[in-house]
A and B are shown apart, each in its own frame.
Chain A
Amino acid sequence: MQEEIFVTGAGVISAIGLGRQATLAALREGRDGIAPVRYLKTSRVEFPVGEVKFSNEEMCRLLGVPEAGVTTRTSLMGMIAAREALEQARLPGDGGERVALISGTTVGGMDKSEQYYLDFLENDSRNEYISAHDCGACTEMIADYFGLFSMVETISTACSSAANAIMTGALLLRAGRADVVVAGGSECITKFHLNGFNTLMILDREPCRPFDAGRAGLNLGEGAAYLVLESGASARRRGVVPLCRLSGYANASDAFHQTASSPGGDGAYLSMTGALATAGLAPGEIGYINAHGTGTVNNDLSEGLAIQRVFGERVPPVSSTKAFTGHATSAAGGVEAVISILALRHGFIPPNLRFSTPMPELSFAPAAGGSAAPRHVLSNSFGFGGNDTSLIFSKTD
């Protein structure tokens, strides 16, 4: 029996609000955060997005960091979410713990690079903004704000980055390389990937409709979320009450295509069954699935079929909360981990917004929401490169 991993803190910022309370209220009231572009400076205004409803200046004031600095939007959101998680976990404590920060980000500081871009292919000057671009640098900025971490790592696996950071956190604890891990991810919307997703022709011009027969793509979102992970012994020693357990995790490769998911969802099937195996759970024990559910034709079909392969005739309530938040790319797995924990602790199923027509290929329809008492929640996060991760959060009692 491997040592159990407990979640003792959670922090989040996304299109539906700053903090756990605002997030919970929005989920329960069915209030989404998808809206026309307001903060990003772009001409691509035809695509609705899930922006965090704060300017960089406002976030600087919230954090007490200088407004004129080089701090990227990705870092600012990361600091806000990590601060909430650390406060809940009562960190920094009175010392002694080796605390690691594992953060997922891919586009990193691209917002500043876009603002101050110098062509570093032709020109050798690599000014402070360009070095902020480096996705490792965004994690360093978050770490420096707290000055708490003995180890800092950035994981970059596209849209499963934050989920992989959380999985890596559990592995670190089990290997004894850290006593406490702050794990999650942060990513702001940039012109860079708004255009990139547009060239892939997977952006919906309307608010997205995950798992609907008429779905037409995703809405880009942004945000940050972190969990504090530690062993039971560590939580007891520090006198903090766990929110839940991180009972299962697995990552698998779809090994099919650079961006598209395989028709049968091979990687997704392996990540879900792998997570169930680490948790020692049968499929029937899962009470809610927070799906990756981007709203693209390809993902929702592939993921839906994989869910059917794992759960057979008895598919638990499934919803994609990306209809609330948009697709926060590298941060999505973190945001959805926090949402999964809220569902677990407050006994409800977040609704799959804007669903009207079932997909003919699937035997199940997404959940309409309502009260429930899931004991185990499974959260899927899949990234380009066929990088598929599933996490399972379980009640402590």
Chain B
Amino acid sequence: MDELILNLKREIIEVLNLEEVKPEEIEDDAPLFGEGLGLDSIDALELIVLMEKNYGIKLSDPAQGRELFKSIRVMATYIRDNRKK
């Protein structure tokens, strides 16, 4: 799980071009949206692409994304339980 969380942080930083953020600066339980990383709706859509591309998880409803992207830990837990690659 820890490895998945770290990988996920690296992937998010890369795909969302978070140039000035380091993996250790993203807290496992902090919200991804709203405060903190300054992510917006396009970033959420890009995370949906990431879920499919890297883990074979297809989300068809942006509202589902909002639930999953509450924190890195929520996201990683969902990936662990549902990944297809």
Mark A residues whose CB is within 8 Å of B. 199-201, 257-260
**CB interface residues, B 31-71, toward A, < 8 Å:** 40-42, 45, 48-49, 61-62
Q: Which residue of A lies closest to B65 (CB)?
A: A201
Residues of A contacting B48 with CB < 8 Å? Answer: 201
Interface residues on B, range: under 10
Q: In the complex, which residues of chain B have a beta carbon less than 8 angstroms from the beta carbon of A257?
A: 40-41
**Most chain A Cβ neighbours within 10 Å, of B42, B48, B49:** B42
Residue of A nearest to B62 (CB): A201
Are B41 and A199 in contact, with the CB atoms below 8 A? no
A199 to B45, CA, bound (A): 7
Interchain residue pairs with CB less than 8 A apart (7): A200-B42, A201-B45, A201-B61, A201-B62, A258-B42, A259-B42, A260-B41
Q: For A199, what are the chain B residues with a Cβ–Cβ distance below 8 Å? A: 45, 49
- Within the complex, the shortest CB–CB distance from A46 to chain B, in Å, comes to 11
**CA A290 to CA B47, docked complex, whole Å:** 36
Q: Contacts of A200 on B, CB cut-off 8 Å?
A: 42, 45
| Chain B interface mostly | helix
- Whether B41 lies near A259 (C-beta < 8 A) is yes
How distant is B58 from chain A, measured CB to nearest CB, in Å? 12
Rounded to whole Å, the gap between the CB of A142 and the closest CB of chain B is: 33
Q: How far is the CB of B35 from chain A (nearest CB, A)?
A: 17
How would you classify the secondary structure of chain A's contact residues: helix, strand, loop or mixed?
A: loop
On chain A, the residues within 8 Å of B61 by CB distance are 201
A200 to B40, CA, bound (A): 12
Which residues of B have CB within 8 Å of A259?
41-42
Q: Look across to chain B and name the residue whose beta carbon is closest to the beta carbon of A200.
A: B45
A259 vs B45: C-alpha distance in the bound complex, in angstroms?
12
Q: What's the nearest-Cβ distance from chain B to residue A158, in Å?
A: 15
List the B residue with the shortest CB-CB distance to A297.
B62
Q: How far is the CB of B50 from chain A (nearest CB, A)?
A: 12
Q: Which residue of A lies closest to B60 (CB)?
A: A201
Q: Nearest 5 A-B pairs (CB), nearest first?
A: A201-B62, A260-B41, A199-B45, A200-B45, A201-B45
Besides A200-B45, A201-B61, 4 new A-B residue pairs in contact (Cβ under 8 A), listed by A number: A199-B45, A199-B49, A257-B40, A259-B42
Closest to A260 in B: B41
A258: chain B residues at CB < 8 Å are 42
CB distance from B46 to the nearest CB of A (A): 9
A259 to B42, CA, bound (A): 8
Chain B proximity of A124: nearest CB distance (Å): 28
- A259–B40 Cα distance when bound, in Å, is 11
Nearest B-chain residue to A202, judged by Cβ: B62
User: CA A346 – CA B62 in complex, angstroms?
Assistant: 42
Given the complex of chains A and B, what is the CA–CA distance between A191 and B62 in angstroms? Answer: 22
Minimum CB–CB distance for B44 against chain A, Å = 9
Alpha-carbon separation in the docked complex, A314 to B49 (Å): 44
CB closest residue in chain B, given A201: B62
A201, B49: Cα distance in complex, Å: 11
Q: Which residues of B contact A260 (CB under 8 A)?
A: 41
Shortest distance between the CB of A241 and any CB in chain B (Å): 48
Q: Which residue of A lies closest to B44 (CB)?
A: A201
B27 to chain A, nearest CB (A): 26
Chain A residues within 8 Å of B45, by CB: 199-201
Q: How far is the CA of A260 from the CA of B41 in the complex (A)?
A: 8
Write the chain A residue with the least CB distance to B48. A201
**B62: A residues at CB distance < 8 A:** 201
Distance A200 CA – B49 CA, assembled complex (angstroms)? 10
Which chain B residue shows the least CB distance to A199?
A: B45
Q: Tell me which residues across on chain A come within 8 A of B40, comparing CB atoms.
A: 257
For residue A192, give the distance in angstroms from its CB to the closest CB of chain B.
16
Closest Cβ of chain B to A1, distance in Å, is 45
A200, B46: Cα distance in complex, Å: 9
Of B45, B48, B49, B61, most buried by chain A (CB within 10 Å of CB) is: B45
| Minimal Cβ-Cβ distance residue in A for B61 | A201
